[in-house]
Structure 1
């Protein structure tokens, strides 16, 4: 995969110039030692070569092979967006995002690995940008090469990727028409999974709007400003409004057998085209049926 840049300043080393373009030291080492190439005005150069305004720098990033540890498994993906840099799918509930000792296969990563191989893309390594809990549905982003992944990691750190969720929660007097929840979250003592609101935790910020209320169920539109583990589930449970189906945090499982949480919106500035990308995924049937019944 090739990328071309025009230099706009004098007396700058190639490695410094490329760092300004988002090329990490790790990726630069891969270009140098794993079959990549750096050209300046058509001539191969080393990373310490000085470039000047008007020079053209072209980099070739070596292709990435699929991981030998990740089994490719066929499953029909609901592709919402795709270009040469990114893949965004609408993840169904009940599938883990990544493999683990508990879920060694049949994960979204296995399915995307198969998709990349069958499409015969130049890069076949799976790069997860945003992941979702096993029982959460909705938009999930993958980068199609390491350079795209590093760009999106930086955007996640800078909080310039906007994610919004629909959630069905148990109605609570503590819920307002719209509000902000700014409460720290830490791991619950004695548990390796469960989180809780605790002063010892990391700051977490969630905002929400009440879209609809029906009997003892409320439909919320939620925006994450931070990305703590189980953040939405913990914050609303703390308000006495646990997600339906979320038995880990006190939600009733009488109406739905998974936490009623769906990532419906993903918005970001495309790092390679500078376009504003806004993607949507409709409320899934199991959650829609609950609010319509």
Structure 2
């Protein structure tokens, strides 16, 4: 087998699983999922397009975006290898299990519960939460506090919907912003890393229809703030 040149291997994306239909990997914090106004080329999407083309400039192979993770968020991310697979995964996204770890400031009064609101993004790309159904799209977040320290709480999230910045906005709205969240936190943060990680993604495979579960280890800075058996 011809060795794939290192320059074509995806940066910021540790591949966990690849088959004829999908690519699943652990996205590094700071890596862009898709193109943004300030960066159109240095993305996981672009790197994976190069990966599936194996350095062949004449190849028309591509990967297709199924979902996104915020730039500062790490963890499990899946791409489709065809439009047909992309549509299947998106159409079945409600049946996909999406579990996250988050470390938030303070101790939550309710140790578990469901946060539900309507989210809408403004012209400055800031997402706002409302109880008015006419002011955004429904977002539902289940949470459970796993461990507390004097300053922080480790929270496990079951994401029932997948709206932009949903977890960050919902936890901030509860008065417990995610550690390192300069956008939705309470003023500038001394913590440079966003403590939000996509830990588990469980899907129905588009070809054999079997349930597949993918997990990604948390970044080291989680364990420094709250030691815990994250596995």
Superposition TM-score tier, normalisation by shorter sequence: 0.7 to 0.9
Indicate whether 1:182 and 2:116 are aligned.
yes
CA 1:123–1:215: 2 relative to 1, 3 Å: farther
Q: In structure 1, the residue corresponding to 2:99 is in which secondary structure?
A: strand
1:172–1:240 contact (8 Å) kept in structure 2 = no
TM alignment of 1:17-28, pairs within 5 A = none
Indicate whether 1:192 and 2:158 are aligned.
no
CA 1:173–1:152: 2 relative to 1, 3 Å: closer
The offset of 1:93, in angstroms, is 0.7
TM alignment of 1:103-252, pairs within 5 A = 103-118=39-54, 124-156=61-93, 159-174=94-109, 176-188=110-122, 191-198=123-130, 199=132, 200-251=135-186
Q: 1:288 pairs with 211, 223, 226, which one?
A: 223
2:96–2:203 contact (8 Å) kept in structure 1 = yes
Structure 1 portions without partners, runs of 5+: 1-71
Q: In structure 1, the residue corresponding to 2:158 is in which secondary structure?
A: strand
Name the count of aligned residue pairs.
215
Give the equivalent residue in structure 2 for 1:66. none
Which structure has the higher relative contact order (CA within 8 Å, separation 6+)? 2
TM-score normalised per structure 2: 0.86
1:203-229 C-alpha deviation (Å, 9 max, x unpaired)? 211001111111111111101111111
2 CA distance for matches of 1:172 and 1:105? 40
Q: 2:15 pairs with 79, 82, 85, which one?
A: 79
Point out the structure with max Rg over C-alpha: 1
Structure 2 portions without partners, runs of 5+: 1-7
TM-score normalised per structure 1: 0.68
Q: CA RMSD in A?
A: 2.1
1:123–1:145 contact (8 Å) kept in structure 2 = no
Q: In structure 1, the residue corresponding to 2:125 is in which secondary structure?
A: coil
Give the equivalent residue in structure 2 for 1:88. 24
1:49-95 C-alpha deviation (Å, 9 max, x unpaired)? xxxxxxxxxxxxxxxxxxxxxxx785364111111111001000111
Q: In structure 1, the residue corresponding to 2:33 is in which secondary structure?
A: coil
The offset of 1:288, in angstroms, is 1.8
1:252-288 C-alpha deviation (Å, 9 max, x unpaired)? 622x313211000001121211211011111111222
The offset of 1:119, in angstroms, is 7.7
Runs of 4+ in 1 over 4 A off after TM superposition: none
2 CA distance for matches of 1:100 and 1:81? 26
